[in-house]
Structure 1
Amino acid sequence: MTMPSNESRKRVKIMVWFLVGTILFMFLPWTQNVRSKGFVTALRPEQRPQTVHSIIAGRIEQWYVSEGDFVQRGDTVLLISEIKDDFFDPLLLERTRLQVDAKLQSAFSYAEKVKAQEIQMEALTANKGLRIEQATNRLRMAELKVKSDSIRFEQAKVNFDVGVEQLKRAESLFEDGLRSLTDLETRKLRFQEVQAGLIAAENNLLSSQNELLAAQIELNAIENDFRDRIAKTRSEMFSAMSSQFDAEASATKLENQFSNFEMRSGFRYVLAPQDGYITRAIQVGIGETIKEGAEIISILPANAQLAVEMFVEPVDFPLMRIGNKVRFIFDGWPAIVFSGWPQFSNGTFGGIIVAIDNFTGDNNKYRVLVIEDPEEDPWPDALRIGSGADGIALFNDVPVWYEIWRQLNGFPADYYTADEKRANKKKS
């Protein structure tokens, strides 16, 4: 049974229009994309959720916040007390300060002693100069006296020689009868006086020489005496300087210890590191002991610049470029998505890739960090860190037939750079 001609023509028209529509559909633009799961985080590391640790070991005494409270930077979160016996003393800081002051006074006393010994050395040096000058003058006087007595001794020897000759002539004249016995005896008496003068002159010379030797010995003794006294004073001064340096070193060490005690006493109060919300108390109760570096609470920073961490497969990693566009479906916000036609999607939010890791994480995927696209609608105000996000990384615009052909052959998508995308928009 044959079909009526009008029915046949109708079906032919439908097939033709279907074929034309299919052909036109094949030439429609299709945006290549890669979908990936992720979650909302903060762009800057310091704006991400963090835990507050205890710097010192202690015992929980009092809580000042509860979970969900908003705290500002520097607000007191927790008070802990000491559990180490080295820090039990309630007057530890005051007593340590007294020790520091005592050591500083000791160092000051040694410094004053050093100054006194420096003055003593200056006095000894000045006195040494005067004493040496005085001894030098005495030595000079002794030298002159020796010279004078030496001249007198020579004169006495000449007088003695003359007296001997005169005595011989007087004896000769007495034997010849030319002189009387009285004249001879007078001459002998004069000769005795000349002989006594010679002996006295020699004695004076020897005495002067002895005085010269004594003056030289005295000069050397003054040099040695003052050298010993100055060396002893210098030794005492260096000893005082050594004691001063030891006292200053001890004072510095005590000051360092005092600063450590003072800082440690401040660590008994656990403070909020930045503005944020208390999300969870890890250590709880009163009287519970905690170790050094133990986690106490977790804080969610306020006013963080949100970003999305999404993870891509290694096969898609070469397609990622900084500046590429990404569409997101956030948990809790319904959306109608046409992956190949993002312009027709509703309920999605735009983003821009700002960072790409060059190594895989624990899940053997590469991490990509995406921020809000300033050219798109802003992300929801109620979006919070930790929310899930389904990312659609957008690549090049190609015809539908090309995308089907690429998928059938397993070829990678065509990537583009931000500059190329802007250039394409200008051309269109």
Structure 2
Amino acid sequence: MLGISPKNRVDDKLYKEKLSSTIVLQTPKAAKVLAYWLMGLSLVFFIVLFLPWQQNIRADGEVTALRPQDRPQTVESAIAGRIIQWRVMEGQFVRKGDTILQLAEVKEKFFDPNLLLRLKEQMEAKENGITAYKAKISALSNQILALESGLELSLSKARNKLQQNQFKLISDSTDWEAEKINLKIAEDQLVRAEEMYKKGLIPLTTLESRRLKVQETNAKVISLLNKVLTARNEILNARIELNSLQAEYADKIAKAQSDLSSARSFLAEGEGELAKLTLEYSNMKIRNEQYYLISPQDAYVVRALKAGIGETIKEGEAVATIMPDNPYTAVALYVKPMDVPLLSIGRKVRLQFEGWPALQFSGWPSVSVGTFGGRIEVIDAVDSKAGKYRILVSPDPEDDPWPVQLRQGSGVLGWAMLDDVPIWFEIWRQLNGFPPSLKDQPDDLIYGSKDKKSKDSKTDEEVD
């Protein structure tokens, strides 16, 4: 009817000029494409909203070491001195016990190079003096024992003599009393004889014999009285001798004990001086060893804090910084206080080190590229700096090993991984400013009394 066919088409010029209304009524191709794209993106976005998203806590920090002995340290001088020789260069590797630098003495009292020999001689002289005092103490002790033994013997002898005199006094007193009775009898017989003589009953010779017997008996009584008095004097002398012996030996023993106490005092003084000399000798011997500053462990010399020859350093002043060899590397991350209750020992962490290119999807750690795994080993019980809490993260043995080129102090960005939630929930949480949620309460916020030793031993085994 219109005469339009594939071989007989409407002229394009006529179509554009005469049929422009049809063009207006048509939907533009660009709009169709945009609509398709928007519909597709909306569908994709809707699907994505229900994909799982792993919640995480973001924190930054630095590379460090898990064990304190693996962290950078300074080598300090225990004594004041003057540098006379450097034995190492910066960046050089040193073994434990290698000399870093040599010092010379700066204090006058230690200038004598033979000071140790002098102190040794003084110690030997003092030891000889102590030996002599010990011998004197032994001799005085033996002397006191001998005096005490002699005192016992002398006192025993004097007591025996006193006892003998007492027995003699008793015997003489008995004889004297008996003779006094005989004298009384003789006098009575004489009186009766005189009466009988007057009566003529006895002759004069009998009377004279009675008188003679009275005189003889009286003489015996006087003689025995003299013996009694002599015995009493001997007893008194024996007692005086006994007291004299006690006083004499007490004086000798007291003098010996005084000498013994003096010797012991000098011995104690000598032992005190010897102990002082021994301490001084030991200190000087140790001080001589301090002239050589040695490396406390296998390490690299990072920086010399003192330079040149002849420079003087003070006691306890640092002279060099060293970095231990083969440290057990860890990461120190600093988290906000509100995030600390969500963390626990052993929780997984993803790490991005400065200098290593990475593409991190914090909610999808499985598709991240260039990040490394770790696990929380320590959570500080107090804040560390700027109101944040430090956590120490060690390498995850189930993940790729950390780069060997890591240096302590390098920056690190970390994500502590929590539980999985839908993306729409995470968006809603972020918009409302809610904290992440946990299905279960963390068991340990810091090392517990039961787990700390096991974790420490496990760390040492991993280091070995």
- TM-score bucket (shorter structure): 0.7 to 0.9
Worse-superposed segment, 261-270 or 138-147: 138-147
Q: Distance in 2 between matches of 1:267 and 1:182?
A: 125
Q: Distance in 2 between matches of 1:150 and 1:7?
A: 165
1:115 matched to 2:138? The reply is yes
**Which of 361, 367, 387 is matched with 2:410 structurally?**
387
Correspondence for 1:311 = 334
Change (3 A) 1:169 1:77: same
Q: How does 1:147-186 map to 2 (within 5 A)?
A: 147-161=170-184, 164=187
Correspondence for 1:39 = 62
Change (3 A) 1:398 1:186: closer
**Which of 349, 353, 369 is matched with 2:376 structurally?**
353
Q: Distance in 2 between matches of 1:45 and 1:417?
A: 33
Change (3 A) 1:166 1:298: same
**Which of 163, 167, 170 is matched with 1:140 structurally?**
163
The alignment's TM-score, normalised by the length of structure 1, stands at 0.86
Change (3 A) 1:376 1:170: closer
SS of the equivalent of 2:129 reads: helix
Correspondence for 1:333 = 356
Worse-superposed segment, 44-53 or 266-275: 266-275
Change (3 A) 1:79 1:173: same
Q: Distance in 1 between matches of 2:442 and 2:154?
A: 97
Q: Distance in 2 between matches of 1:179 and 1:14?
A: 192
Change (3 A) 1:395 1:219: same
Worse-superposed segment, 172-181 or 349-358: 172-181
1:103 matched to 2:126? The reply is yes
Cα shift readout 1:26-80 (whole Å, capped 9, x = no counterpart) = 2222233343322211111110000011111111121111111111111111111
Cα shift readout 1:226-260 (whole Å, capped 9, x = no counterpart) = 33333333333233223322222222222222222
Correspondence for 1:375 = 398
Q: Distance in 2 between matches of 1:266 and 1:361?
A: 39
1:124 matched to 2:147? The reply is yes
Cα shift readout 1:85-135 (whole Å, capped 9, x = no counterpart) = 222222222222222233333233222222222222222222222222222
State the percentage of identical aligned residues.
45
Residue 84 of structure 1: how far off its partner (Å): 1.6
Q: Distance in 2 between matches of 1:48 and 1:172?
A: 140
**Which of 103, 114, 117 is matched with 1:80 structurally?**
103
Indicate conservation of the 8 Å contact 2:100/2:294, yes or no.
Answer: yes
SS of the equivalent of 2:380 reads: strand
Worse-superposed segment, 271-280 or 120-129: 120-129
Indicate conservation of the 8 Å contact 1:47/1:304, yes or no.
Answer: yes
SS of the equivalent of 2:90 reads: coil
Residue 414 of structure 1 aligns with an amino acid whose one-letter code is S
User: How many residues are matched?
Assistant: 420
Which consecutive unaligned segments of at least 5 residues does structure 1 have?
421-428
Indicate conservation of the 8 Å contact 2:342/2:442, yes or no.
Answer: no
Correspondence for 1:424 = none
SS of the equivalent of 2:127 reads: helix
Residue 95 of structure 1 aligns with an amino acid whose one-letter code is R
**Which of 433, 448, 458 is matched with 1:410 structurally?**
433
Q: Distance in 1 between matches of 2:31 and 2:228?
A: 171
SS of the equivalent of 2:285 reads: helix
Correspondence for 1:426 = none
Residue 312 of structure 1 aligns with an amino acid whose one-letter code is V
Q: Distance in 2 between matches of 1:4 and 1:263?
A: 98
**Which of 281, 302, 305 is matched with 1:258 structurally?**
281
Correspondence for 2:4 = none
1:245 matched to 2:245? The reply is no
Change (3 A) 1:187 1:342: closer
Residue 384 of structure 1: how far off its partner (Å): 1.8
Q: Distance in 1 between matches of 2:317 and 2:304?
A: 12
Q: How does 1:287-298 map to 2 (within 5 A)?
A: 287-298=310-321
Indicate conservation of the 8 Å contact 1:328/1:350, yes or no.
Answer: yes
Which consecutive unaligned segments of at least 5 residues does structure 2 have?
1-23, 444-464
Residue 336 of structure 1: how far off its partner (Å): 2.5
Cα shift readout 1:274-333 (whole Å, capped 9, x = no counterpart) = 110000000111111111111110000011011111223344444433322222222222
